[in-house]
A and B are shown apart, each in its own frame.
Chain A
Amino acid sequence: MAIRVVPLAPVDSQFFGGRSELVVEAGNLFAVIRALEAIAPGFLKYAQTRAWFSVNGAIEGDWTATIPPDSEVIILPAIAGG
């Protein structure tokens, strides 16, 4: 299943050579992140501690949840509150 991945800064330049969009085959976020780790080694560690993932506009914290085909995954920096 093709998933469109949109890495926002600083992930785009830090891991993906400034690419604004990637397409990976995946059925959940674990598979997305594995695919991205294969492209950019080190991304997995970053993803575990510093990223949030928005799937079709909603933050998804469960990486095992099924992602529908043709979904959009946006990689956001993790956001903390006060």
Chain B
Amino acid sequence: MTEHNPLSQFRVVGTRPVRPDGIDKVTGKAIYGPDHVAPGMIHGAILRSPHPHARIRSIDTSKALALPGVKAAVTGQDLPHLPGKSVSLGEGEADLANLSCNCLARDKALYEGHAVAAVAATSASIAREALKLITVDYEVLPHVIDLEDAARDDAPILHPDLRTQGAEEPSDKPTNIAFTFALKQGDAAKALDGAAAVASGRFAMPPVHQGYIEPHACVASWNADGQGQVWCSSQGPFMVRAVTAGVLDIPVSDVRVTPLEIGGGFGGKTTIYLEPVAMLLSRKAGRPVRLAMSREDVFRASGPAPGLVVDIRIGADAEGNLVGIEADMLYDAGAFPGGGTMLGPLVLSNMYRYPAVDIRTRDAVSNKPSVAAYRAPAAPQITFAIESCIDDIAAQLGMDPIAFRLKNALRPGDTSAMGMECGEIGFVECLDSANAQDHLKAPLGDNEGRGIAAGYWINIGGASSASVSLAEDGSVAVVTGNPDIGGSRASMAIMASERLGVPYEKVRPIIGDTATIGYSVVTGGSRTTFAVGRAVVQACDTIIADMKKRAANVWQVAEDDVEWRNGAVHCTAKGNDNAPMTITEMAENANTTGGPIAAEVSINPHDSLPAYGVHICDVAVDPETGHVSIKRYTVVQDVGRAIHPDYVEGQMQGGAVQGIGWALNEAYIYNSKGCLDNPGFLDYRMPVASDLPMIDTVIVEKPNPAHPYGVKGVGEVPIVPPLAAIGNAVKAATGKRIRELPMSPDRVFAAINGGK
């Protein structure tokens, strides 16, 4: 079941035309990262550490280099040493020293799978053989995998020079705590001590992977003139350019990045692992070099979402008004700092009104892969704890869980605890819509339970560029610099079609390389249809203004006497009977009215609006095995405006499914040696279609005034509520609150049977 009742003032926006990338994908013609071939290309391979923590005393590549067919070998010592250097990525910065060390370990291997050396050879099999000939002398060091162990004072130290940023009392003692942040408003402890209902507990969840189907891969070519080219799939070619140039310490202008089709990213491709290594190999070999991860490499060496341990306490008065919240969060950063520490408080303070707040958040490094973004980074984890407690408080007070949320939800005009003013947010509308769903009235069977949970994600804007140009026949090329991970080509084409009054089929959306279009930050943060779409619409408006000016010149009237409607210029001057000129006619006559008709627009909007969602979930719990199956699932979400509802529903469904996997199945399992025991999809169990019912979607549209068509952003928030929605459903079915993920059969069985 899908529910979408569009506000029908638009011709194309809100319709469901055929996607522009569909044919290439279903016929196998789409070129993904591992598919690209460059003339003369050779094959790279990476040697990875078998130890989770080891000092690298030496690396000897001489035997590998002597193997016939081997053209180059590199180690971390071939990369420039860049202490303290960083590069701006537009939506944050990257620490180049850490990025460099993550691409190729310099002095220490910090996790099992950490890259320590690489070779390039004339065939992939020779490259793999060459890896066996590299000798690495390791001094194995004590390791720490468990997050809470990593945060202890006596834990093995990963980075001797790491000091806690943000600490109230700075210390010069080495630590694994990379960052801390505290936010206090009012007296939360006093408020909670006097509350009529309080829910509390320690919630814990391990890292989980994004599970994109396409592994990381690239081809790099470093030419003799110093110019480098990289072909890769990523969520941002400009990000790849910036960090590749930064890690290699070369000018940005010496690197050109061409984006290939992307086979899933979900945040995990907002960073790099291979590109500088492939560039180095290419420079040494004098040939283009391909590097591609295997599935095992992806699990062992690319960034998952951080795990979290949080102690939380939330309370309400007898009337159902929240009175305060305390939370102490510890996020897992993996091998390098950056566990999304600030995002936990952001999420926590942007859902409900809390008169008193006492929050502390930290992140700790550990001997696991460095974490990366994953759809609404850090939000699903803390929301699992918040929404579990909110449900428990509602139950204690005898209130309906949606009514309790409605009573406390942030509304337009409110200010969050972090000082952010709520604009035209749609949290209340989502709760109202959820409350009206038939799903809530459906009967439940034995051992079945129903849960609901809400979620928030900030959605961002940021630097965005787009060009729009008319071909001689009036067809339209729309070029952006943002890879299409969720339907952005279709949405850009729809918005251009709507604005210009041309058929959707006459608009060709293209993703340009870093040399063909102005700068854009990554496709991420649910920003692309909002921010890049706004650039597309502004570029359309620029060429419309140009065409009006040209028509005025043709007709010898004032520009004010020319109007643009329905894809044509119209003369409105009194007594003038000039026939309208269509966009096709304007394009055909472009060279006699001033030349080509085209515009490029670069903008940097920050007036995006957050997304809210409410999920309803029915589960059945098998009391004999503890297995939880999803029986019915409904996603309600405010999207601002759905430009292409198929894609919007797909994002809502996909996010919910990834959240379901996070809740029920997924976890990194490390053995006592600090090595990952489940680096493949057979043992790292993501949900498949046969595990799931149809995910029903309800699109709520409360338009964003800052976007020409009201877009807010869609892709991230649907992964936020499922963890708690399922937890609340399991509690409804069993009476047991499970605070640790995944809710795997053994854990659920133990909860049902009192820990046995």
> A76 near B: Cβ within 8 Å?
yes
Known contacts A10-B165, A74-B419; decide if A61 and B605 are in contact (CB<8 Å): yes
B70-96 interface mask toward A, CB cutoff 8 Å, 1 = contact, 0 = none?
Answer: 000000000000000011110111000
B462-501 interface mask toward A, CB cutoff 8 Å, 1 = contact, 0 = none?
Answer: 1000000000000000000000000000000000000000
Contact of A80 (CB < 8 Å), options: B266, B377, B418, B423: B377
Q: Using Cβ atoms and an 8 Å threshold, which residues of chain B touch A57?
A: 415, 419-421
Q: Are B342 and A62 in contact (CB under 8 A)?
A: no
Contact of B93 (CB < 8 Å), options: A50, A58, A74: A50
Of A56, A72, A79, A81, the most chain B CB neighbours within 10 A belong to: A81
> A77 near B: Cβ within 8 Å?
yes
> A66 near B: Cβ within 8 Å?
no
Q: Using Cβ atoms and an 8 Å threshold, which residues of chain B touch A77?
A: 342
Q: Are B607 and A59 in contact (CB under 8 A)?
A: yes
> B712 near A: Cβ within 8 Å?
no
Using CB atoms, name the residue of chain B closest to A60.
B606
Q: Are B266 and A82 in contact (CB under 8 A)?
A: yes
Q: Are B181 and A10 in contact (CB under 8 A)?
A: yes
CA distance A58 to B270 in the complex (A): 26
Using CB atoms, name the residue of chain B closest to A13.
B166
> A3 near B: Cβ within 8 Å?
no
> A18 near B: Cβ within 8 Å?
yes
> B170 near A: Cβ within 8 Å?
yes
Using CB atoms, name the residue of chain A closest to B421.
A57
Q: Using Cβ atoms and an 8 Å threshold, which residues of chain A touch B377?
A: 80-82
Q: Are A50 and B92 in contact (CB under 8 A)?
A: yes
Q: Are B93 and A79 in contact (CB under 8 A)?
A: no
The B499-531 residues at the A interface (CB cut-off 8 A) are 524-527
User: In whole Å, how far is B208's beta carbon from the nearest beta carbon of chain A?
Assistant: 13
Q: Are B343 and A13 in contact (CB under 8 A)?
A: no
Q: Are B419 and A49 in contact (CB under 8 A)?
A: no
Q: Are A81 and B88 in contact (CB under 8 A)?
A: no
User: In whole Å, how far is A10's beta carbon from the nearest beta carbon of chain B?
Assistant: 3
User: In whole Å, how far is B609's beta carbon from the nearest beta carbon of chain A?
Assistant: 10
Contact of B91 (CB < 8 Å), options: A18, A60, A78: A78
> B154 near A: Cβ within 8 Å?
no
> B167 near A: Cβ within 8 Å?
yes
User: In whole Å, how far is B749's beta carbon from the nearest beta carbon of chain A?
Assistant: 33
> B182 near A: Cβ within 8 Å?
yes
B148-185 interface mask toward A, CB cutoff 8 Å, 1 = contact, 0 = none?
Answer: 00000000000000000111101000000001111100
Q: Using Cβ atoms and an 8 Å threshold, which residues of chain B touch A52?
A: 606
User: In whole Å, how far is A56's beta carbon from the nearest beta carbon of chain B?
Assistant: 7
Known contacts A77-B342, A78-B91; decide if A13 and B168 are in contact (CB<8 Å): yes
Contact of B418 (CB < 8 Å), options: A48, A50, A62, A76: A76
Q: Are A72 and B419 in contact (CB under 8 A)?
A: yes
Q: Are B92 and A54 in contact (CB under 8 A)?
A: no
CA distance A75 to B323 in the complex (A): 27
Q: Using Cβ atoms and an 8 Å threshold, which residues of chain A touch B458?
A: 79, 81
> A26 near B: Cβ within 8 Å?
no
Contact of B92 (CB < 8 Å), options: A14, A74, A79: A79
Using CB atoms, name the residue of chain A closest to B607.
A58
> A9 near B: Cβ within 8 Å?
yes
Q: Using Cβ atoms and an 8 Å threshold, which residues of chain B touch A81?
A: 91, 267, 373, 376-377, 457-460, 524-527, 716
CA distance A82 to B606 in the complex (A): 17
> A35 near B: Cβ within 8 Å?
no
Known contacts A57-B421, A79-B346, A81-B376; decide if A10 and B91 are in contact (CB<8 Å): no
CA distance A80 to B463 in the complex (A): 13
Q: Are A82 and B524 in contact (CB under 8 A)?
A: yes
Q: Using Cβ atoms and an 8 Å threshold, which residues of chain B touch A79?
A: 91-92, 342-343, 346, 458, 460, 525
Q: Using Cβ atoms and an 8 Å threshold, which residues of chain A touch B179?
A: 10
> B354 near A: Cβ within 8 Å?
no
> B461 near A: Cβ within 8 Å?
yes
Offer 9 A-B interface pairs, CB within 8 angstroms, sorted by A: A9-B182, A49-B87, A61-B605, A74-B419, A79-B460, A80-B525, A81-B376, A81-B524, A82-B376
Other A-B pairs, 6, CB within 8 Å; known A59-B607, A61-B606, A81-B458: A49-B92, A52-B606, A61-B605, A81-B457, A81-B525, A82-B376
